[in-house]
Chains A and B, each alone.
Chain A
Amino acid sequence: MSRPWKSELRVQLGRGSTAVQRLAPWTRRVLDEARVQGAALQALPAALAALRERSEEPLPAQARLLVPDELAYLSLIERDGGWPAAHRAALDHFAATLGRTDLVVQVAAMPPGTNWLAAAIETGDLQAWQQALADAGVRLAHVELLLLDDLRRLAGQVPDEAIVALLRDEGSTLVRVERGTPVELRWERCDPRALRLIEQRLMAFQGGIVSSQPPGVWMLCGSDAQYAHWEHMARAHGWTLLRREAAPAQPEHGA
């Protein structure tokens, strides 16, 4: 159970780096951050150690971990009958498409109708994250999707008819929004620096080739470097370019 009156760790995994942030109680303002390059299984313990060394205060007792798109299987399914039926349908979907029945599966209803986001992660990955945090004296309280975290941040800016392009470390996630809710989801594994490749796939997904009035594109960059890389292209197409978040606040010593 979440305890908003206590400080919390926010763990953002990446294929090439892991960032761990110490968040304040209630406001969840970033008090400190440690980022370590490398694979998650090695980078996470190192980031926890770095954060602990930089403050006299002990690490928060609980953590929230965001799973990147690269480490999750994602799909939109239609199902009536509430959460149990949708969860059952998700299990069947991943068994049919991936041939896997050993995944950790969860579903979330996409408002307002019968669309559900089905997500699955490797059981081994979950256990490894729990163990790494437990070794540092931290309880893993929540395991959430970076995809939904980003969409929740963008919801107020994105219109009800739009294409959302989320640039990741190893590709991009494209989301078609109709009547205010995601109706199509596609993961494109590719080099996120390949401008022409992503441009073509994005335009195909947008329907710009066959439509004279395609929906607008909102592109989210994961870093300042990505933002600079895409700025010219986005301006040329009239895309809206966004950055996930500004740099974290300077660590507060003695707070």
Chain B
Amino acid sequence: MKRPPQLDFLAGAPRPWGGVALALLAALLLGAAALSSWRLDQANREALAALNEQAARRLPPAPRKLSEAERVRLAQAARVAGELRAPWGDLLATFEQHGQGDIGLLKLEPDAKSGLVRITGQARNAAALFAYLRELEAEPRLVRVALTTQQLERETPGQPLRFVIQAGWRGAPPASKELS
């Protein structure tokens, strides 16, 4: 005979223990999933906060209105920076590659602000000087080539012609703007 269940007058409806167990298991799994999700969210928030902090440190500060003294200092710095940006090596090479053997360069004076360069040198004779001048005028990197002075140096052996040539160069940076 199958063993019958017991009957208890003080008990209510029988509890579906299988369902209760399943419900408890489901509740536990949901709780674990929620906890895991919350932890992941917290970790993401912390990582994002750290990234934001790093990014904030790298960004430059917001610009502010300059005082008069600061504007003057900034203009001077810009001028120096412009001069530093001039292609000195390229200029020197341009002047030296012409007038081989008959021209000797003594000084190279660039002016980044005006975009001009002034060279001082010695030529063997007038023919060599004018030939050098024509070569410079044909140089594509130079513009407005002009002989500003020439002088025979009688006391120097060989009596070379001392000259000063002024020229502009292509791609020179524009004159720095006045800062407001």
Residues of A bordering B, CB below 8 Å: 67, 83-84, 87, 104, 106-112, 117, 119, 121, 126, 140-145, 148-149, 151-152, 154-156, 158-160, 162, 177, 180-182
21 pairs of residues in contact across A and B, judged by CB atoms under 8 Å? A83-B13, A87-B13, A106-B8, A108-B6, A108-B7, A111-B5, A117-B4, A117-B7, A119-B7, A142-B8, A143-B9, A145-B6, A148-B5, A149-B6, A151-B1, A151-B4, A152-B3, A155-B2, A177-B1, A180-B2, A181-B2
- State the B residues within 8 Å of A (CB): 1-11, 13-14
Roughly how many angstroms separate A151 CA and B3 CA in the complex, as a whole number?
Answer: 7
Contacts of B2 in A (CB 8 A): 111-112, 155, 160, 180-181
Residue of A nearest to B1 (CB): A158
Chain A residues within 8 Å of B13, by CB: 83-84, 87
Further pairs besides A155-B4, A160-B2: 7, Cβ < 8 Å: A144-B6, A144-B9, A145-B7, A154-B1, A155-B3, A180-B1, A181-B4
A106 touches B1 (CB 8 A): no
Interface residues of chain B: helix, strand, loop or mixed (majority): loop
Q: What is the chain B residue whose CB lies nearest that of A159?
A: B1
Partner pick for A140 among B4, B7, B10, CB 8 A cutoff: B10
Residues from chain A with Cβ under 8 Å of B6 in the complex: 108, 144-145, 148-149, 152
Min CB gap A76→B, angstroms = 11
A130 to chain B, nearest CB (A): 9
A106 B3 Cβ-Cβ under 8 A: no
Main secondary structure of the interface of A (DSSP, over half): strand
B-side contacts of A108, CB under 8 Å: 4-7
Number of A-B contacts (CB under 8 A): 70
Determine the residue in chain A with the shortest Cβ distance to B9.
A143
Q: Which 3 A-B pairs have the closest CB atoms?
A: A108-B7, A155-B3, A143-B9
Q: A145 vs B7: C-alpha distance in the bound complex, in angstroms? A: 7
Complexed CA–CA distance, A104 and B11 (Å): 11
Contact status A143-B8, CB under 8 Å = yes
Q: Which residues from chain B contact A110 at a C-beta distance below 8 Å?
A: 4
Nearest residue, chain B, Cβ from A109: B5
B residues in contact with A111, CB < 8 Å: 2, 4-5
Contact yes or no, B7 A148, CB < 8 A: yes
Residues on A with beta carbons closer than 8 Å to the beta carbon of B8: 106, 142-144
For B11, the chain A residues whose CB sits under 8 A away are 106, 142
| Closest chain A residue, CB of each to CB of B3 | A155
* Chain A residues closer than 8 Å to B3, beta-carbon distance: 151-152, 155-156
A162 touches B1 (CB 8 A): yes
A148–B2 Cα distance when bound, in Å, is: 12
A106–chain B nearest beta-carbon distance, Å: 5
A111, closest chain B residue (CB)? B2
Judge whether B9 and A121 touch: CB under 8 Å: yes
